[in-house]
Amino acid sequence: MPTRRLYYDDAYEKEFSARVMYCEVRPPDVKSGITGTVWGLLLDRSAFYPTSGGQPHDLGKIGDANVLDVRDEGEEILHLVDRKPSEPDVDCCINWPRRFDHMQQHTGQHLLSAMFQERFGLPTVSFHLGAEDSSIDLRGIEPSEAFLEGAERAANQIIFEDRPVNVRYGTADQLSEIGVRKEVEREGILRAIEIESADLQPCGGTHVKSTGQIGLLLVRRCTKIRQDWRVEFVCGGRAERIARHDFQLLRQVAEKLACATDDVVAAAAGALGERDAHFKNFRGMLQRLGEAEATLALQTTPSGSNGLRIVSRVFEGVPAEFLGFFATEIAKNENTIALLARAEDGQLLFAQHPAAGKDVNGLLKKVLEKTGGKGGGTRDFARGRLNDAASAASALSLAKEMLAAG
């Protein structure tokens, strides 16, 4: 027996009584997030909206049972609930804040789609109403910033005019005579939603009764999805929350930058410019320091009996880049080899003057084989990292022994 859909005629019916026509235990449906045992219920009449047409299902209560999901099954509405109602005649109520939010987003979608179509010739090919934001997919040329703003402004103008939103019934032919835009293939009596002098669309969803109740429509991002353009938007309570959230963010950024909210872009650009200049300075100083320390190290490191001068050092409290500057300076000197490590993270850097005639990459690999770690490079310059930073000093001693051995 078909379920009488109360929301067709009155989307504002929040409480209703009905008779349970059918009730059976159903297995858990993990895919839908339903892990426990549930009951499937059919009622003779229902105000619960089932997931369809881009609009999510309602929640609420049927007698003492909680509604978990509502599905459109042909002529019937299937309610999934967490327990069997104790009586066959049940009082029901839908979760009104959730439903009204859906009505605001859904009616806003009709309006926004109509504006994109009418003003910019961009048809909507799909609609999605999510938990956070909603989106329509437009087909055609990329909507420019001016398109997005123009459609938003036009939609809000119609919201401010508080135009009636009417439900119209008729056959496909009758509806197309009064201006239904979409081709409809279904037979019989169809339902269409009219926003007075703005839009007429076949739709089985729930809508507010006048555009003023959409509240406000804010267009957010536009991104490319395959060949279409996905425009995200929010209406009503969501627009209020998101505008407040955005302003709080802006204020927090302004506080961090110690400027007025209107000046955040200039202040952020200034701060980033300063940061870049400081970084450049810092890098220059780091290089000079690396070179100076390398010069000092060379002065205090004598050559060994094989004629090689080996500067071996574990650094602590310096950036990784410092090792590079230090090593480069060392390796400028003939017959000189640098064996460096960083205590904090076990980074290793081996470098040599080409005339030193060793293979520091091969040396590094042999050391890492014994101590554990990864790395590689060229014959004259190689980097690696030890698995255990604490073994940095012993890794360098090992490298030194290997060099001495041949």
Which residues here bind Zn ion, judged by CB under 5 A?
203, 205
Please report, as a single letter, which amino acid is at residue 329: E
Q: Which is nearer to Zn ion, 41 or 165 (CB)?
A: 165
For residues 315 and 68, give the distance between their C-alpha atoms in angstroms, rounded to a whole number: 61
Shortest distance (Å) from residue 74 CB to Zn ion = 20
Shortest distance (Å) from residue 41 CB to Zn ion = 26
Of all residues in this chain, which one has the CB nearest to Zn ion in the complex?
203
Token pair listed for 237: 């309570």
Measuring CA to CA, how many Å separate 131 from each of 55, 87, 201, 202, 245?
10, 33, 24, 24, 16
What Rg value do the Cα atoms of the chain yield, rounded?
35
Q: Which is nearer to Zn ion, 107 or 352 (CB)?
A: 107
Q: Which is nearer to Zn ion, 39 or 48 (CB)?
A: 48
Q: Which is nearer to Zn ion, 205 or 375 (CB)?
A: 205
Q: Which is nearer to Zn ion, 64 or 118 (CB)?
A: 118
Shortest distance (Å) from residue 115 CB to Zn ion = 15
Handedness of CA 57, 62, 65, 71 (dihedral sign): negative
Contacts 24+ apart (CB under 8 A), 151-158: 151/112, 151/115, 151/116, 151/119, 151/120, 151/219, 152/112, 152/217, 152/218, 152/219, 152/233, 154/115, 154/119, 155/108, 155/111, 155/112, 155/115, 155/217, 156/216, 156/217, 158/111, 158/195, 158/198, 158/211
Shortest distance (Å) from residue 204 CB to Zn ion = 7
Handedness of CA 295, 299, 300, 303 (dihedral sign): positive
Secondary structure letter of residue 182 according to DSSP: S
Q: Which is nearer to Zn ion, 134 or 336 (CB)?
A: 134
* 3-state secondary structure (DSSP) of residue 137: strand
Shortest distance (Å) from residue 106 CB to Zn ion = 5
Q: Which is nearer to Zn ion, 68 or 136 (CB)?
A: 136
> Which among 40, 84, 39, 33 has a CA at the least distance from the CA of 56?
33
Q: Which is nearer to Zn ion, 195 or 327 (CB)?
A: 195
Q: Which is nearer to Zn ion, 203 or 214 (CB)?
A: 203
* 3-state secondary structure (DSSP) of residue 90: strand
C-alpha distance across the termini of the chain, in Å: 93
Shortest distance (Å) from residue 107 CB to Zn ion = 7
> Which among 97, 79, 72 has a CA at the least distance from the CA of 8?
72
Which residue in this structure is represented by tokens 């071996």? 312
Torsions phi, psi of 358, nearest 5?
Answer: -95, 180
Which residue in this structure is represented by tokens 């890492």? 368
